[in-house]
């Protein structure tokens, strides 16, 4: 059995073998449609989706990994693409759209996928287009989702943030009032009573704190 999340038994078995035939598959999710291509020839079925062969027309930059909480982006270069793919690059609002890279293990001499794993998941951030005699060349720059961990969420323990996340929830309605209360616990003349406060006056009929 596989011991790492996202790697099934078939993939784990292929990883343990000495010789592999591997193809890389790119999934770029635009608003209008999803571009599915791979580094081989012919069709390749991964997860129920059919990827078209781009051969050497698809190039992928190095994927860096380290023990630190950081991850460099990955650049994909697509050459000689048809007018449909070029239209996505020119007309779609592509920024922050999901992009995934898979590594597929195929049976020797065939396009049958024996297993696959996700190498990279990120978002598109920039597309550069250049033209030459062979057609349009598209360079797609992406960033890793790990970068979200370094960005402030701007979510606080306040009623406003709680309503934004869970409309109608009242669990944080009294946070502001509590933060401004001056309670001198167990001391005569405190803010809650003229005598030593034992907490009984501040409970409702069901035993809950009254503010």
- Of residues 87 and 169, which shows the higher confidence score? 169
The pLDDT value given to residue 1: 36
CA 130 to chain centre: 29
With 60 as the cut, is the pLDDT of residue 197 above it? no
Mean pLDDT of 61-69: 70
The answer on pLDDT for 3 being more than 60 is no
CA nearest 127: which of 61, 52, 81, 77?
77
Note the pLDDT tens digit of each residue in 180-193: 777 777 666 555 44
Do residues 49 and 37 lie in contact, with contact meaning Cβ atoms separated by under 8 Å? no
Per-residue pLDDT band at 2 (split at 50, 70, 90): very low
pLDDT tens digits, one per residue of 93-142: 888 889 999 988 887 777 788 788 888 888 998 888 887 776 778 888 89
Which residues lie across from 28 on neighbouring strands? Answer: 35, 99
pLDDT in the model for residue 195: 46
Check: CB of residue 77 under 8 Å from CB of residue 56.
no
- Starting at the edge strand found earlier in the chain, the sheet holding 98-106 runs 43-46, 49-53, 34-38, 22-29, 98-106, 113-132, 135-144, 75-79, 58-60
Residue 204, pLDDT score: 60
Please determine, for residue 27, whether its predicted confidence score (pLDDT) is greater than 70: yes
The reply to whether the predicted model has a pTM over 0.85 is: no
Mean pLDDT of the chain: 77
Distance, CA of 38 to CA of 44 (rounded, Å): 8
**Cα–Cα distance between 103 and 46 in angstroms, integer?**
10
């Amino acid at each position: 059995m596989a011991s790492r999340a996202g790697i099934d038994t078939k993939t784990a078995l292929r990883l343990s073998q000495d010789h592999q035939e591997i193809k890389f598959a790119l999934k770029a999710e635009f608003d209008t449609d999803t571009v599915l291509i791979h580094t081989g020839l012919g069709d390749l079925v991964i997860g129920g989706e059919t990827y078209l062969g781009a051969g050497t027309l698809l190039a992928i930059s190095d994927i860096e990994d380290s023990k630190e909480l950081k991850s460099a982006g990955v650049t994909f270069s697509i050459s000689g693409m048809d007018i449909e793919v070029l239209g996505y690059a020119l007309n779609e609002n592509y920024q922050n759209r999901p992009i995934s890279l898979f590594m597929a293990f195929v049976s020797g001499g065939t396009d049958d996928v024996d297993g696959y794993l996700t190498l990279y998941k990120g978002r598109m951030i920039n597309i550069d287009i250049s033209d030459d005699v062979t057609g349009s060349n598209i360079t797609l720059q992406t960033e890793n989702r790990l970068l979200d961990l370094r960005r402030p969420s701007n979510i606080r323990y306040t009623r406003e943030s709680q309503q934004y996340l869970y409309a109608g929830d009242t669990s944080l309605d009294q946070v502001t009032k509590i933060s401004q209360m001056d309670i001198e616990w167990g001391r005569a003349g405190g803010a809650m009573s003229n005598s030593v406060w034992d907490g009984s006056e501040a409970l409702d009929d069901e035993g809950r704190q009254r503010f």
